[in-house]
Structures are given as C-alpha cells and as structure tokens.
Structure 1
Amino acid sequence: MSATDGLDAADGTASVDDGGAENAEGAPNQDGVEALIRLLCDHENGAPVLQERLKQCHNSCKDVVGFLRKRALLEEDYGRQLAKMVKEFGGKESPKIYGREGSWTAGWTAFGAIHATVAQHHLELATALTELAEDVNTLSKDTERNRKQLRDDVRYQWKQVEDAVGVLEKSKQKYEASTHDWERTSQSSRIAQQAQGHGHSYGGHGTASAWDMAEISPMSLQKLQKNESGARSRATLANEAYRQQLFVTNGKRRDYYELHLPRLIRLLVDSIQKADDGLLRHLQGYVALYERCLMNEAMSTAPPSGQKTQPGMADVLGRVDLDGDLDAYVAVHLAEGRRVAKGDIALSPSPGPSFIDVDGTGAGLVAAAAIGSGAPGAFDATAVPMGNGNASRQYAGLDLITIADRDGEPVPVIVAALIQAIEAQGLAREGIYRVSGNSAHTARLLRRIDLHGTPPQPALRDEDRAVLTSALKQFFRELPDGLFPRASYRPLMQAMRNDDPQRRLMAVHEIINGLPDAHYGTIQVLFRHLAKVAAQEATNRMSADNLGLIWGPSLLMCSELSPDPAELGHASELVAMVIRHHAAIF
C-alpha cells in the first residue's frame, strides 16, 4: 500500500471516529482515541503530524493571547475616557453645572453617575481580560514546552533505533567480508591440494598452470591450510557478532514500535487535547465576562421594572422638572428685589402756572385738571401691593427647627394643611405624586403661602391635586437641611447596607428616634400620609417602592459634594422601608 493510500485510509478512519468521538455523556470516546493512536503508530509520519498539530495549537494560543490583551487595552481606555468625561461634565463639582440647582442638577448628576458605573464595569472587564490573557499565555508556554520535550524524546528514541541499525549494517559488512576471505583462502587451499595430488600434469580440471604447480611446495600448502583455518574462524566470529547485533537491533525496533512510539503518540494526543480544551474553556470564559459586562451595563442604564435597585437613565430624566426649576429660580432671585411700579408717572406741581392753554382750545387745561384731580391712571407709589404684612409665615430658606421655633408647632402648618387637602380630595387617583402639577401654578401657590400665609382648607381643596402634591414635594426639596438632616445621612446609608432586614430596621428606628423634634414630628406625619397612599396601591398604582423612588431624592440630603451613585438606590429603599414599617418605627 502506498503512502498516499495510507493517508487516505487515515482520513477515512478519522472521519468515522470523529462521528463517535463523544459518548452520550459528552466525554471523549476512549475507543476512538485508541483507534487514532493505533492508526498513527502504523504510519512513519504519525509523530511528525502530531508535532505539527501541537505547534498549531501553540500558535492559536498566541493569537488568542494577543486578542485578549488588545481587547483589555481597548476596554481600559474606554472605561478611563468615559470616567474622565463624566468627571468633566457630569459631576456636581464640574464647572459645566454653571451653578444650576434644582431637579436638573440632581438628574444630571445621577445621569453622570450611571455613566460612571458603566465605566467601572468596563474597567473591571479590562482587568478580568488581562488575567484571562495571562492564563492563556501560561497554557501557550506549557504547550510549547511539552511539544519540545516530546520532539526531543521522539528523536532520542528513534536515534537509538538508527544507531542499532547502523551497528548492524557494519556487522553485516564485516561478516560478508570475512565470508568472502574464507571462500577465497579455502579455494586456494583446495586447488593446491589437487595439484600436489596429481603431480605436474597438464590439462585436467585444475585452473593453475604447470609453472604455478611446479612452485607449490609442502611448506606453501601448509601455509595455505593455515590461512584457510584462520579465515574460517574469523567468518565464524563475524557471523556470531552479526546474529547478536541483529537480535539487539530487532529488540530496539520492537521496543520503539510497540512501547515508546505508542507512549509518545499518546502523550502528543493528550497534549493536543489539553491545549484545545484549555483554549476553548478560556474563550468560553471570555464570552461569560463579556456577557456579564453587557448585562451590567444594561442593568445600569435601563433596569427592568421589577429589579430596579437604582433608577435608570429614563427614570432620571423623567424626574427632571425644568418648569419647576425655572419657577423656583425666579422666585428665589426675585425675592431679593422689589416690585416694579407700573403705573403712569404723575405730573409734579411746578412753581409756574398750573393751567396752560397751549393751543387755545382748552385741551391743555382739561388734561392738567385730570392729572391734579387723581384721575384713573395716576401713579401712586403707596398703592403697590406688598403683601399682608404677615412676614412671620415665610417658609422659603428656613429649616424645620427654625420654623418650629417660630410657629410653636412641631410640624409646619403648610405641611399639615397640604396633606389634609390632598387626603380630602382622595388618594385613589392613579399616579398620585408621580404626576407633576403645573409648575407655574405650583410656584404661585408657594409664593402666595409665603406672602399671605397658609390659605384656609376650602381654598386649598379647590386647587388641583397634582399642584398640591407638587407643592408638598417642592417644600421638602427646598429645605436647607432636608427632612432627614445632613448629619443623619451617613449613618442612614450605613444602616441600609446591613444585610439583615431586622437589624437594618432597628438601626433606622434608632436614628430616626434620635432626630430633633421638628424633624421627627414632620417625618411621622409625612410617612403616615404616604402609608395611606401605599395602602391604596391597587387603585393608584403607587406602591411603597414607587413612592421611595419619587421621594428618596427629595427627603435625604447628602453631606458630601459627590455622593456614591449606589446610595441613590439606598435612599429610595430607606423611604420604602419606613413607609412599610411606619407603625413599628413611630
């Protein structure tokens, strides 16, 4: 059978074995591996073929290492650049904020915090890919080291066979030369004996001439016989040496083909399988890391409705109330100035004649009389409305403790009045507190309360319910120290990180009980009201979690310029937990 036929047969066998290379459990078929090893042992290029394949495995590992390292550099660069961009544009300390406050600043900061989280995910992926690349590089080095060791072992074992064959060839040559010499000396001795037995005869069957036969003496015949005996001895020794070396050579060949070659072939196959399995396993690890990064990025930007640990981008943007920000900004800055008198400027009395008939028709006289008599349209600075003088009911810019000391009440009157009006209109409306009221109407209501005091309940109940809920949220959002004081922010966040729900509730209960009376009383009134809202979740669709997402940013004020993005979720969880357990806390 030719070498080409043998390779074709090998291809055919390999194709059959590949079909049954794995059993029902997915493990490698040992029968198929053994058949492959026997097939390779029957071919003279079996070991070189596997060595070349192992080298290809090593090169594949090197390619994967290069890919993973380049991928890690790209992910690291992307993560660092994104984090740098967030720091420049999205942080509270960023100069791009331009001192802007309100819901826009909170939303923009949260928007940047989400991007910072995404950047962190990519930096973590870069670190994991770098470690994975090192693992594949270790696999590549081990594969190359195994290849070289097995190559040297194959060469050594085959050289033992080649050396034995070389020694055998020399023994054979020596044996053939000794045999030829023995035949030559034996023939010469035989001819000499025949010649001496027949005398100096001519002709006959001898090949020596009469002259040669005449020179053979008894001494020469004895010497020829001695040479023949020596040649025969040397041929016998050479024959024995040749037979012995033939036995040794065949033994080495049998050891090589029956012991060493199958062992080396099996080691080569094992090294190839180990390299292939390891490479595939590491690539599957890469897929898992990449999928996790994409999943974390998706969860950070748009978490599912049932798994919202922190708001997504759409939620953050949905909380931005630009109209409310504008009204609040205008109200704050206009409070620093005075109202403008828009009436006509009155004519001041002059020392000259008061009545002048300019055109001789008397029109000038009538106009002057109208001005002097206080007719409609005359300017009067004292007529500009400046409020009712009840400045003690101002709320803007005052904290809860100051308001309580001024009013003598633990709960601000505006809070109690707004909650009473909202509950009087009913809490079953879908989306209560999620639907914002008209920002202009909300700002107008808060300004009216600041200027004239809290309106009576009938007047408040005539307001739109969304305007009342927006006014209540804006009141707490604009408190200088928040409903939960800044000093309590860090202890509350630490308590919310407790994994034990019971311990977490007890820690929050202790912190709330330690707050000043003004804060404690207002928290108690507000959260009892929110608990009533959550109790009607079936109709208003406002669960404790939904209320937590809406009220969390308005009630807790961080004591730091740049809060941890994860703490936004803790703030919402805190509000939801207090709503659920308000009876136990208060």
Structure 2
Amino acid sequence: MYAACVKQMVAIHETIATNRLQFAMHITQVCEELTTVHKDTDRSRKQLKDASERYERALRDSESALDKAKAKQEATSDAWDKARQALRTDLPRGAASPPTGPTGLSALFAKPPEKEEEAARHRAARANDAYQTQLAATLALRNEFQRSQLPSLVHGLKEVNDECDVALQFHLANYVRVPIYKQDTDGPDAQGTDLANVSWNPDDYASDIHTLASAIKLFLRSLPDSVLPRSLARQLLQAARMPDARVQLLTLHDLINGLPEPNYCTLRAVIQHLDRVALRAARNQMHVHNLSIVFGPTLMHGGAVAVAQTHETANEMHLQCRVVEVVLSNCRIIFEPDEA
C-alpha cells in the first residue's frame, strides 16, 4: 500500500513537472509570437507614418513653390507697371522738352520704351501663367490629401490598431491556459479525481470568431511572400486601375490562373470562404467591399523584402482592396466551376 502511494506521488510530480515544462515552452512561444506582432505592428505603423510624411512634405513643397511663383508674378507685374508708366511719360519725337531716358553711351544700347513694355508684359504673362498652374496643382494636392490620403491613412492606422488588439487578445487567451484536473470516477481519489491525469482544457480559453479571423490574417501576413506574390504586384495594381470592368476581369482571371499551385490553392480557399461569409452579409454586415478592405492588404502585403524596397502608399492599399473586391465578386468566374 505504501509503495503504491509512493508510486502515485512520483507519477503526480512527474506529471506536474511535465506540465510545467509544457507551460514554460508555451510561454516562450507566446512571447515569440507577441514579439512578431510587435514587429509587424511597428512596421505597418512606420509605413503609414512615412506615407503621411511624404504627403505632407509634397504639400509643403508645393505650397513653397506657390509662394515663389506668387512673388515672381508680383515682381513681374510691378516691372510691367513701371514699363507702362515709362511708356506713358515718354515724349513724342520733336517735343521741346529734353528726354528723360538714359543719355550718353547707354542711350545707344537702351531698348525703346515700346519694346521694354512689350518684354515686361510677356514676362508678367508667363509668370502669371506659372502662378495659376502652380495654384491649381497646390489646390488639387491639398484637396487630395484632405479628402483621400488623410482619411485613408487614418483608416489604415485604425486597421493596424484593431489587428494588433485582436492579436493581443488571441495570444493573451493562449497565455491564460491553466492545468485542469480531469474528473474520473474510476480514479483512486476518494472524490473521483485522478490527480495523475492532468491536461490542458481548451474550453477554458475558447476564442471568438474575431480572434480566429485575426489569427488567419496574422498568418497570411507572416508569410515570406503574400498569397498574391509581389512579382505580380505591378500587373495586379494596373488591372485595378482599368476602367473597363470586362477587361479588368479578364486580366485578373489570367493573372490568377497563372499563379503557382500553392498560391492558387490558398487564394481559392480564402476567397471561397470569404464568398460564403459575404452571402450572409445581411446578418454579419461583412459585404464584399468590407471584406476586401480587411483582406486586401493581407493578401497583397508583399513580404518583408518588398517593404524594405518600396513603401506602401494609401493609394496602393486602395488598389489592393480593389483587386480583392473584384476577385471576390467574381470568384465563381475566376475559379473553375468544380472548384467554386
């Protein structure tokens, strides 16, 4: 009896040690995954910050050029006014009063007042045209920044924050896993608990659908290259700009059906699932457009190498969403009938 108790105690301690080791390994894994989340979030935040700084710098440069054009326009206008004034005060030939213009040797090389006025008028006209052109460009750039780029940047920052928040919830849910003693009426314990049978209970940390969706997005964004590879990024973005919907669909159909087999199968599985989600949009409010906003940058992120080479702009993110929206809206056409 004593030997059996000692044996059971040793087994319990071995189980406790094993569970503690598993818990330590799990904590290490959670730490590594949280580090990855931090790096991805910081990278996305820096991309948006760099894009914002580029837009603001371009706007400042345009406004500075506008100020210079305005100063030049005012200077040439003043010069033209002076030339016109000189032309009006210049006496006609045969007048008794002495001339007021340059005298001596300089008078030989001086332009007639008419030519001076004409040259000043042309300079003023060119300066005014340049000012009007720069003014229109600055106003267009300012309107684009305030109405399109700035809202897109804010929306992108909110998406990054939401994705980070859901990822943290997912990993913290994994962190709070605790050993749960299974109930076993056949065990040696008088209360029906087999203390040697200790395991993790997944029901205690079950995640909701938002956490699962974030985990899928995090996995797709962690791939070395995106599902829609960066080698086709330029062609895909060009297709998104096409005004003709039919040509756009045919172009995307050819590009997608030319993907490598792993990329094609993964994209098909994701799009088909999103199509089923969109069919229930009346209940879940996830229409095709909303799904494309969520999964566009995920399916076309381009990997860490692309991020190091080029910065994603808000306009590119919009085109990425457009690509996914067209593919999702026409998934039964783009993919083979027996696959859709």
TM-score, normalisation: structure 1 = 0.30
Matched with 1:159 is 57
Once the two structures are superposed, residues 529-560 of structure 1 have per-residue CA deviations (whole angstroms, 9 ceiling, x without a partner) of xxxxxxxxxxxxxxxxxxxxxxxxxxxxxxxx
State the distance in 2 between where 1:259 and 1:303 align.
Answer: 69
How do 1:334-353 and structure 2 match up within 5 A? none
User: Structure 1: which 5+ residue stretches go unaligned?
Assistant: 1-102, 201-209, 313-586
Q: Secondary structure at the match of 1:281?
A: helix
State the distance in 1 between where 2:50 and 2:145 align.
Answer: 14
State the distance in 2 between where 1:254 and 1:215 align.
Answer: 55
* Structure with the greater alpha carbon radius of gyration: 1
Measured after TM superposition, the shift of residue 154 of structure 1 is 0.9
State the distance in 2 between where 1:303 and 1:166 align.
Answer: 84
Paired residues, number: 193
Q: Does 2:147 correspond to 1:258?
A: yes
How do 1:96-135 and structure 2 match up within 5 A? 103-135=1-33
Matched with 2:96 is 199
Measured after TM superposition, the shift of residue 116 of structure 1 is 1.5
Report the residue type matching 1:271 in the other structure. V
Report the residue type matching 1:242 in the other structure. Y
Once the two structures are superposed, residues 423-475 of structure 1 have per-residue CA deviations (whole angstroms, 9 ceiling, x without a partner) of xxxxxxxxxxxxxxxxxxxxxxxxxxxxxxxxxxxxxxxxxxxxxxxxxxxxx
Matched with 1:573 is none
Report the residue type matching 2:35 in the other structure. N
Q: Does 2:203 correspond to 1:308?
A: no
Measured after TM superposition, the shift of residue 137 of structure 1 is 1.4
Percent identity (aligned):
29
State the distance in 1 between where 2:188 and 2:136 align.
Answer: 80
State the distance in 2 between where 1:106 and 1:171 align.
Answer: 96
Matched with 1:276 is 165
State the distance in 2 between where 1:240 and 1:270 align.
Answer: 43
Once the two structures are superposed, residues 470-501 of structure 1 have per-residue CA deviations (whole angstroms, 9 ceiling, x without a partner) of xxxxxxxxxxxxxxxxxxxxxxxxxxxxxxxx
Q: Does 2:48 correspond to 1:150?
A: yes
8 Å contact kept, 1:178–1:238: yes
Q: Does 2:120 correspond to 1:226?
A: no
The verdict on how the C-alpha distance between 1:106 and 1:183 changes in structure 2, with shifts beyond 3 A counting, is same
Measured after TM superposition, the shift of residue 182 of structure 1 is 0.8
State the distance in 1 between where 2:24 and 2:6 align.
Answer: 27
Measured after TM superposition, the shift of residue 160 of structure 1 is 1.8
8 Å contact kept, 2:183–2:192: no
How do 1:1-400 and structure 2 match up within 5 A? 103-193=1-91, 199-200=96-97, 212=100, 223-287=112-176, 289=177, 292-293=178-179, 295-296=180-181, 305=190, 307-309=192-194
8 Å contact kept, 1:121–1:296: no
Measured after TM superposition, the shift of residue 281 of structure 1 is 2.5
The verdict on how the C-alpha distance between 1:104 and 1:305 changes in structure 2, with shifts beyond 3 A counting, is closer
Measured after TM superposition, the shift of residue 142 of structure 1 is 0.5
The verdict on how the C-alpha distance between 1:214 and 1:225 changes in structure 2, with shifts beyond 3 A counting, is closer
8 Å contact kept, 2:11–2:196: no
Report the residue type matching 1:199 in the other structure. A
Measured after TM superposition, the shift of residue 221 of structure 1 is 9.7
Once the two structures are superposed, residues 47-86 of structure 1 have per-residue CA deviations (whole angstroms, 9 ceiling, x without a partner) of xxxxxxxxxxxxxxxxxxxxxxxxxxxxxxxxxxxxxxxx
Q: Secondary structure at the match of 1:199?
A: coil
Once the two structures are superposed, residues 348-370 of structure 1 have per-residue CA deviations (whole angstroms, 9 ceiling, x without a partner) of xxxxxxxxxxxxxxxxxxxxxxx
Report the residue type matching 2:74 in the other structure. E
State the distance in 1 between where 2:149 and 2:101 align.
Answer: 63
- Segments ≥4 residues shifted beyond 6 Å: 195-198, 213-216, 218-222
Measured after TM superposition, the shift of residue 167 of structure 1 is 1.8
Once the two structures are superposed, residues 145-204 of structure 1 have per-residue CA deviations (whole angstroms, 9 ceiling, x without a partner) of 1011111111112222122112212211211111111111211221113x768633xxxx
The verdict on how the C-alpha distance between 1:304 and 1:172 changes in structure 2, with shifts beyond 3 A counting, is farther
Once the two structures are superposed, residues 24-60 of structure 1 have per-residue CA deviations (whole angstroms, 9 ceiling, x without a partner) of xxxxxxxxxxxxxxxxxxxxxxxxxxxxxxxxxxxxx
Report the residue type matching 1:121 in the other structure. N
8 Å contact kept, 1:175–1:242: yes
The verdict on how the C-alpha distance between 1:107 and 1:189 changes in structure 2, with shifts beyond 3 A counting, is same
Measured after TM superposition, the shift of residue 126 of structure 1 is 1.2
8 Å contact kept, 2:27–2:175: yes
Report the residue type matching 1:174 in the other structure. K
The verdict on how the C-alpha distance between 1:282 and 1:222 changes in structure 2, with shifts beyond 3 A counting, is closer
State the distance in 2 between where 1:250 and 1:124 align.
Answer: 61
The verdict on how the C-alpha distance between 1:311 and 1:168 changes in structure 2, with shifts beyond 3 A counting, is closer
Report the residue type matching 1:225 in the other structure. E
How do 1:346-495 and structure 2 match up within 5 A? none
Q: Secondary structure at the match of 1:277?
A: helix
User: Structure 2: which 5+ residue stretches go unaligned?
Assistant: 198-340
Q: Secondary structure at the match of 2:90?
A: helix
State the distance in 1 between where 2:24 and 2:196 align.
Answer: 26
8 Å contact kept, 1:196–1:213: no
State the distance in 2 between where 1:118 and 1:297 align.
Answer: 14
Measured after TM superposition, the shift of residue 307 of structure 1 is 3.8
State the distance in 2 between where 1:273 and 1:231 align.
Answer: 60
State the distance in 1 between where 2:4 and 2:68 align.
Answer: 95
State the distance in 1 between where 2:94 and 2:173 align.
Answer: 97
State the distance in 1 between where 2:182 and 2:193 align.
Answer: 13
Report the residue type matching 1:308 in the other structure. T
State the distance in 2 between where 1:157 and 1:236 align.
Answer: 31
